Chains A and B, each alone.
Chain A
Amino acid sequence: MLQGYNNKYLVINLNDHSFEINKIDNQILYDYIGGTGLSTYLLNKYSESNSNPLKPENPLIFCSSLLTGTRLTTTSKFAIATKSPLTNFIGDSMSSSHFSDKLKKTGFDALVIRGKSNKKILIQISNSNIEFLDASNLWGKTTSQTEFELKNKIGTKFSYACIGPAGENLVRFAGIKNDGGRMAARTGVGAVMGSKNLKAIAVGGNIEISIYNPKKINSIRKELSHKSLGESTEKYRTTGTTINMSLLNRLEMLPTNNFAESKFAKSEYIEGENLIKNHFDSKAHCANCTIGCEKIFVTNDNKNSTKSRLEFQTTASLGANIGISNPNTIIRAAKLCDELGMDTISTGVTIAWAIEASQKGHISNNIDISSESKLLKLINDIAYRRSLGNLLADGTKLAADNIGKKSSSYAMNVKGLEIPSYDPRNLPALALALSVSTKGACHNRASAYDIDFNNKNIYEDPKIIAKKTKLSEDTSAVIDSLIWCKFLRKSFDDFYLESSNIYSLITGEDFSENKMKLAGERINNLKKLFNINNGWKRSDDSLPERLLKNSNQKSQIISKNFLDSMINNYYHFREWDNNGNIPKNKLEALNII
């Protein structure tokens, strides 16, 4: 038994509505910590290689972590792991809300959902008590309607995770909404939930976790909360991330019109500075967060007033990348995606691909999003798989494979996951991180743009970029396993020293910085092993042709050769073979096999 954990997890089999409770060995908790690490471990344990992500055999795993429930700032987070229906590789997604704390208070560190229910259901878990409830009356409801009804029916002492119509209709980039405002958005985790006929999960309980040295943790909590309000989080606290757009546009790094260009002529209308002046409504915090990077914006035209939480990625993917410069339209489109339970990045990038395919005559549909109502209709069509929406609901990779005609060359994804709005052509560390990321084009699994933005003169040297990216990926795996918010990372004077100290103070077991670093490396290797077992090959680690050829750039530095050189160096630092496979002795050294 390790203090700070429940030391057990729940496995639910939806085929027959049964469940079992399993212990977690201490060694597994040392090795994988929690969050994304533990969920990756459980995914490997409960998955069959080459399974179909939307079939019952694909497990859906929810995982809290060691820090969850300690009230340390930003730690009310949880991880979801499954095989992604977008990529056919590991799908992992994080979210942040009271759902995480309540999940841990049920008495389980993780929840593994297997099989498929033969009717629409919701699962209610409370203090080790599990119930399967009919959800047929909730099917078809939006995420906010669902949560509203659940609060009325089950009560406000529970927290809820649910899917919207997009998840029900197996849109491959559907997310899982939780606790009102937050969504585990990426890699199609909501479609997997929908494939199981599972509309919602309600968690509640009052099982308290013991902490080895609560007094010291309490004083660290105060100190860290204080630090979290310092200069290293100023942007997140004050303006939020929507202001990224003006700088990226100025630097010609803002994906525009399906990444065909890197500068949006009308960006000023949708830049954060304008949104803050003309559309700001309020600030929002994830549960237990002192930073509060989330900003709610409100429309200001004479149509129905709509409020939506906007982050940079949403304003860029549903804005510049599809040529939309009306902030009111973006607010309504973002709100609609939230209600339908759909990832805004993949939605925007998929629409951008469709516009280009239409312009090139590769699809016969004429895509017209010149008016707000037409854009909103298209988003609805995707969620309900109506007409062209049915093709787009499969994401850019499958849609392009489906229509052929070289449309893959402008399908902006890596491994099937749509690319977020940082143009990697001028951000070499990000380009590498997006290429090798096990989940596909995710900017958060390495935060590698930070390397590009905060280092001098690394551009020429693929070795330095590769080494820094590998280290940054490992640190991110630790952050996502413990779990902290990435926006807190610069509030630490020494991240590993402080985090390992906190680990020891909670568990009562010595946990060195080196063990923690090794855990980060182990977790990334296990994610890679999952992919290898599911057919990964060297050519999957790359960027779309467009990003390696485009000549629109003033100073494009990512050529195919340069990217390959970074990837080779990255494999070298990971001690993988030249083809990116993990040698047996490396797996043994990491205690994976």
Chain B
Amino acid sequence: MIKIKIEFFGRARLIADQEYIYIDIEKQIMEIDLIKIIASAKPALLGEVIDRKTFRLKKSYNFGINGIKNVNNDIMCLNNDDSILIFSSQSGG
């Protein structure tokens, strides 16, 4: 198991009412399983940031691993102390 940080930005932070959480996960994990873990740690995100049915981030949100690098692999390979950033997919302003 590894420990990673989930950081929330913008509306996701306001809904989670927290800037970040730590979670323990397997080093290799399916994206859907990771999101289920986040949802169980922060149920308020369900329906708002996380799609209730698909357990994917809603279209309005992006994942970034240790930065803005987007994730679109179903299987993610993470390291201890990695950060997953959840932020709005709408840039601009």
Mark out the residues of chain B between 47 and 84 whose CB falls within 8 Å of any chain A CB in the assembled complex: 58-60, 62, 67-70, 72
A377 at the interface (CB under 8 A from B): no
Inter-subunit contact B59/A232 (CB<8 Å): yes
B45 at the interface (CB under 8 A from A): no
A311 at the interface (CB under 8 A from B): yes
The digit string for A433-471, where 1 denotes a CB below 8 A from any CB of B, is 000000000000001011011111100000000000000
The interface residues of chain A lying within 8 Å CB-to-CB of B70 are 454-456
Mark out the residues of chain B between 79 and 93 whose CB falls within 8 Å of any chain A CB in the assembled complex: 85, 87-93
* Interface 9-mer from A1-9, A134-142, A244-252: A244-252
Inter-subunit contact A454/B89 (CB<8 Å): yes
Mark out the residues of chain B between 37 and 53 whose CB falls within 8 Å of any chain A CB in the assembled complex: none
**Given A232-B60, A233-B90, A244-B93, A452-B68 contact (CB < 8 Å):** yes
The interface residues of chain A lying within 8 Å CB-to-CB of B92 are 241, 447, 449-450, 486-487
- Assembly CA distance A456 to B62 (angstroms): 12
Partner of A235, one of B11, B13, B68: B11
**Given A234-B88, A234-B90, A450-B92, A243-B11 contact (CB < 8 Å):** yes
Partner of B7, one of A233, A239, A250, A272: A250
A313 at the interface (CB under 8 A from B): yes
A261 at the interface (CB under 8 A from B): no
* B7: nearest chain-A partner, CB-CB: A250
Partner of B93, one of A251, A276, A312, A457: A312
Inter-subunit contact B60/A243 (CB<8 Å): no
Number of interface residues of A (CB under 8 A): 37
The interface residues of chain B lying within 8 Å CB-to-CB of A231 are 58-60
* A230: nearest chain-B partner, CB-CB: B59
* B9: nearest chain-A partner, CB-CB: A247
* A451: nearest chain-B partner, CB-CB: B91
The interface residues of chain A lying within 8 Å CB-to-CB of B85 are 247, 250
The interface residues of chain B lying within 8 Å CB-to-CB of A239 are 10-11, 14
- Assembly CA distance A276 to B68 (angstroms): 24
- Whole-angstrom distance between the Cβ of A231 and the nearest chain B Cβ: 4
A496 at the interface (CB under 8 A from B): no
- Whole-angstrom distance between the Cβ of B72 and the nearest chain A Cβ: 7
- Whole-angstrom distance between the Cβ of B24 and the nearest chain A Cβ: 22
* B90: nearest chain-A partner, CB-CB: A235
The interface residues of chain A lying within 8 Å CB-to-CB of B62 are 453-454
The interface residues of chain A lying within 8 Å CB-to-CB of B91 are 244, 447, 449-450, 453-454
Q: Point out which of B60, B68, B89 has the most chain A C-beta atoms below 10 A from its C-beta.
A: B68
The interface residues of chain A lying within 8 Å CB-to-CB of B67 are 251
A273 at the interface (CB under 8 A from B): yes
The interface residues of chain A lying within 8 Å CB-to-CB of B87 are 247
- Assembly CA distance A385 to B17 (angstroms): 46
A490 at the interface (CB under 8 A from B): yes
Inter-subunit contact B13/A456 (CB<8 Å): no
- Whole-angstrom distance between the Cβ of B61 and the nearest chain A Cβ: 8
A579 at the interface (CB under 8 A from B): no
The interface residues of chain A lying within 8 Å CB-to-CB of B90 are 232-236, 487, 490
A282 at the interface (CB under 8 A from B): no
Inter-subunit contact A311/B68 (CB<8 Å): no
**Given A233-B90, A234-B90, A244-B93, A272-B10 contact (CB < 8 Å):** yes
* A456: nearest chain-B partner, CB-CB: B70
The interface residues of chain A lying within 8 Å CB-to-CB of B59 are 231-232
Inter-subunit contact B93/A313 (CB<8 Å): yes
A145 at the interface (CB under 8 A from B): no
A238 at the interface (CB under 8 A from B): yes
Inter-subunit contact B13/A234 (CB<8 Å): no
Inter-subunit contact A251/B10 (CB<8 Å): no
Inter-subunit contact A453/B68 (CB<8 Å): yes
The interface residues of chain A lying within 8 Å CB-to-CB of B11 are 234-235, 238-239, 243
Partner of A456, one of B7, B14, B58, B69: B69
Partner of B10, one of A273, A447, A453: A273
Some 27 contacts from A to B, beta carbons below 8 A apart, are A234-B88, A235-B10, A235-B60, A235-B90, A241-B93, A243-B11, A244-B93, A246-B10, A247-B9, A247-B10, A247-B85, A247-B87, A250-B85, A273-B14, A276-B14, A293-B93, A311-B93, A313-B93, A447-B92, A452-B68, A453-B62, A453-B68, A453-B89, A454-B89, A456-B69, A456-B70, A457-B69
Residues of B within 8 A of A (CB): 7, 9-11, 13-14, 58-60, 62, 67-70, 72, 85, 87-93
Beyond the given pairs A235-B90, A251-B67, A447-B92, 15 more chain A to chain B contacts, judged by CB atoms under 8 angstroms and listed by A's residue number, are A234-B11, A235-B88, A236-B90, A236-B93, A243-B10, A243-B88, A244-B91, A246-B9, A250-B85, A449-B91, A452-B68, A454-B62, A454-B89, A454-B91, A457-B69
Residues of A within 8 A of B (CB): 231-236, 238-244, 246-247, 250-251, 272-273, 276-277, 293, 311-313, 447, 449-450, 452-457, 486-487, 490
